[in-house]
Amino acid sequence: MRLNLPSIIVLTWGVVGGLCAWPNGPLVTSGRWIHNSLGQNVTYAGVNWPGAADVMIPEGLQYASIASIVSGIKSLGMNAIRLTFAIEMIDDIYNGGDVTLATAFNKALGTTNGPVVYNKVLKNNPSFSASTTRLQVYDAIAAECLKQEIYVHLDNHMSKGGWCCSTTDGNAWFGDTYFNVANWKRGLEYMVTHGKSWGNLMSIGMRNELRTPSDNTTLTNNYYNWDNWYTNMVAASKIINTANSNILIFFSGLNFDTTLTPIVAGTNLGSSVYFNKTSFPYWDKMVLELHDYENSVSSCSTLQSDLTGNGFSTLSGTQTNTMPMVVTEWGHDQTDGSYTGVYASCLHSYLPAQHVGWMIWVLAGSYYIRSGTQDYDETWGLYNHNWSAWRSTAAVANLQSMVSATLAS
């Protein structure tokens, strides 16, 4: 064998130069697995950090610093956050520029409460100033996550900033009152381009919980279908891949992202359109995501067969499309014994056993504003109201063991 000196030099430079350092991206898919650049399996075990509500700033910063919140996530052993954003923020950027934090809080909370909350945010996060914009908060969260070795998964949660989701909120389906398709594509393109500099943006969810736009019968009857899903999701995925070829692209399903059946099976979506992973040049960037809130399910076997039927069968290797699956939302009340119930304990064992990644809903102990109520207490939040401690140490200890089981595999 000939000694190839230049390669050795390049390799050494790579190690020294940090190219072989965390996060070891980009991530790629291989069958049902997600691999890093070292060829190792990567499974997400993380939490949702909402940022897509009225203020369009990630929650909690009036109570805690970004560093302390991220340290909390890290203390659970988690390796990822699902950071949600609204397209409206990017629309604003195009229509005159992103707004400052003070402006954002005043607009969403009013000029009495807005400045109070804004000043608390500055007090907890002294690196912010009067000129800091909403997008710069995203930058700061990504930077802290990079420092603490946590992957960032962006998620487009809403078009118009607000609490998600209902079938009548105007954000339900492509072409709905606030769901302008061109603006949506532009917003995705903007965020994946912007996030290139973060160093830990590994993936993006194109749209959270597509659902029936039930207050618009024309849209419901003529457009709420898999054909139209295909047209829009495939077009957006191409735009994302062209803008940032490194990141994984997550495809969510219909009915609040509870079903991906015809996508996995590769069956006729309507007008002889078939989802065929191998026909995409970026097939190794495509991931499926499902949500599961079957909190009152009666048995674990029912829950498992529901998940299999709704999309987990992609993992079996027997379907037309074999792809990685991530449960990007599941969750339960943190104020009672829900974590010991059938639903939570089933997912607790089943997801790690299936080597399926997940993000629990939700990190937030409270929201700046939710559905019109300011300082809204989130009983499903891992954090307590003021984000100073876990809401339930028992539930969180239980969750921590699920993280360990997930990452052990």
Q: Please choose, from the candidates 380, 382, 373, the residue with its C-alpha nearest in 3D space to the C-alpha of residue 54.
A: 373
30-59 residues near ligand NAG, rule: CB under 6 A: 33, 39-41
* 222 near ligand NAG, judged by CB under 6 A: no
Residue 20 has a CB neighbour count (10 Å cut-off) of: 12
* 267 near ligand NAG, judged by CB under 6 A: no
> Which tokens belong to 142?
């990504």
Q: Which is nearer to ligand NAG, 255 or 320 (CB)?
A: 320
Residue 163 has a CB neighbour count (10 Å cut-off) of: 19
> Which tokens belong to 25?
């991206």
* 305 near ligand NAG, judged by CB under 6 A: no
Q: Which is nearer to ligand NAG, 204 or 254 (CB)?
A: 254
Per the CB < 8 A criterion, the answer to whether 331 and 379 are in contact is: no
Per the CB < 8 A criterion, the answer to whether 303 and 270 are in contact is: no
Closest distance between ligand NAG and the C-beta of residue 274, in Å? Answer: 6
For 63, 270, 278, 320, 321, the CA distances from 274, given in Å and listed in that order, are 48, 9, 11, 10, 11
The span from the first CA to the last CA of the chain, in angstroms, equals: 37
Measure the CA–CA gap between 358 and 58, rounded to whole angstroms.
20
Only one of the segments 144-152, 240-248, 345-353, 384-392 lies at the binding site for ligand NAG (rule: CB under 6 A); that segment is 384-392
Closest distance between ligand NAG and the C-beta of residue 41, in Å? Answer: 4
Identify the residue among 103, 115, 165, 175 touching ligand NAG (CB under 6 A).
Answer: 175
Amino acid at 87: I
User: What phi and psi, each to the nearest 5 degrees, are found at residue 62?
Assistant: -80, -10
Only one of the segments 69-77, 188-196, 200-208, 213-221 lies at the binding site for ligand NAG (rule: CB under 6 A); that segment is 213-221
Only one of the segments 118-126, 367-375, 381-389, 391-399 lies at the binding site for ligand NAG (rule: CB under 6 A); that segment is 381-389
Per the CB < 8 A criterion, the answer to whether 396 and 348 are in contact is: no
Identify the residue among 71, 388, 401, 404 touching ligand NAG (CB under 6 A).
Answer: 388
Closest distance between ligand NAG and the C-beta of residue 199, in Å? Answer: 23
User: What phi and psi, each to the nearest 5 degrees, are found at residue 322?
Assistant: -100, 115
Closest distance between ligand NAG and the C-beta of residue 402, in Å? Answer: 17
Q: How far is CA 119 from the centre of its chain?
A: 28
Q: Which is nearer to ligand NAG, 39 or 110 (CB)?
A: 39
The contact pattern for ligand NAG, residues 117-156, with x = CB under 6 A and - = no contact, is ----------------------------------------
Question: Which parts of this chain interact with ligand NAG (CB under 6 A)?
Answer: 33, 39-41, 175, 216, 218-219, 266, 274, 276, 278-279, 320, 355, 384, 386, 388, 409
